[in-house]
Amino acid sequence: MRVLVTGGAGFIGSHAARALRGAGHTVVTLDALLPQAHADRPPGEAGVDVVCDVRDGASVERALRGVDAVCHQAAMVGLGSDFDDAPDYVGCNDLGTAVLLAAMARRGVRDIVLAGSMVVYGEGAYTCAEHGPVRPGPRAEADLDAGRFDPLCPRCGARPEPGLVGEDAPTDPRNVYAATKLAQEHLCAAWARATGGRAVSLRYHNVYGPGMPRDTPYAGVASFFRSALARGRAPRVFEDGRQRRDFVHVRDVADANAAVLAALPERPEGVLSAFNVGSGTPHTVGDLAWTLAEAHGGPDPVVTGEYRLGDVRHITASSARLTEEFGWRPRVGFDEGVREFARAEPRARAGAEAPAR
């Protein structure tokens, strides 16, 4: 199969392209090489077949010649700096996806795997001892200021127990990035209905591993911690460090893309299906910081009590559906993956120095 990987020079996209080639596919990579992720990286060094913005419809359509399927990884990621980033997020993620899908429709390409995200859920799954499954709303700023980080049962005010969120959970995006990731899914679903195409959204949880961009407000928490350690500084852990996440290694995410693309021609036409991609083993943000610091040789993390509005408290995944339908399983354990990441050379500096979170 000939596969176009958008964002093919990026953190996840480059790993996905490698996994697809390893599975015997012919891969064409497309990337805009935006400075947020690719500072001082000439096109020749990035190994990109087509250098263009995914919003450039004519260039994208040319890149789709002879292509059987698309692995759509191109996106602006993270919470960004402030709401002034909203037009950039919508432009990169939603307009870019719309332009790509329109070009696919013209070229008759009918299969796409989308890099989705767990951020579409908002808070994760919670169970109240008295009221059963509950969905806490956004946390109040006054509570965060007072160090009350855990959401409460909206019916009785008790602290519910966090659990694993499944794909059938309602979506509740809490920030601009999350809203654009959900909009990408809606666009792919509309495209599939209109064209008879097959679409899968892989809702990544917290992806980490070699090749993460460093020192940019658009990177993830693992990158912030690793960058701080590389500068000899203590990782700064927000809130109390007990917020739960599912840290999944980038090679496992790449393998998930390869597994789904191989089976995509057998999927039902005209629909989008969503699948969580996580390790299945929750860890706290503090766990990540301490494991990274220990493997790197210090300094020890500092728990700051700071917070970011728009962050959720706990979000961890059940990836059982992906395992059942595609036979995929994560292979890289937390300790193994984090220790490898601690030794890996971070990607070149991109943009202004950002605080570690």
pLDDT tens for residues 201-249? Answer: 999 999 999 999 876 666 789 999 999 999 999 999 999 999 999 999 9
Q: d(Cα 174, Cα 160) in Å, to the nearest integer?
A: 20
Q: Which of 122-131, 208-217, 245-254 has the lowest mean pLDDT?
A: 208-217
The domains found in the chain, sorted by start residue, are 2-124+165-343 (3.40.50.720)
Chain mean pLDDT for the chain: 92
Contact 256, 319 (CB under 8 A): no
- Of the pLDDT bands very low, low, confident and very high (cuts 50, 70, 90), residue 90 is very high
Q: Is 177 a catalytic residue?
A: yes
Contact 146, 104 (CB under 8 A): no
The per-residue pLDDT for 46 is 57
Retrieve residue 266's tokens: 């057998």
The per-residue pLDDT for 213 is 84
- Of the pLDDT bands very low, low, confident and very high (cuts 50, 70, 90), residue 354 is very low
- Of the pLDDT bands very low, low, confident and very high (cuts 50, 70, 90), residue 81 is low
Cα separations (Å) of 144 from 175, 305, 351? 17, 9, 29
Per-residue pLDDT tens for 270-302?
999 999 999 999 999 999 999 999 999 999 999
331 closest CA partner among 268, 226, 211, 249: 249
Q: Give me the catalytic one of 89, 121, 177, 218.
A: 177
Q: What three-state secondary structure class fits 235?
A: coil
Greatest distance between any 2 Cα atoms in the chain: 60
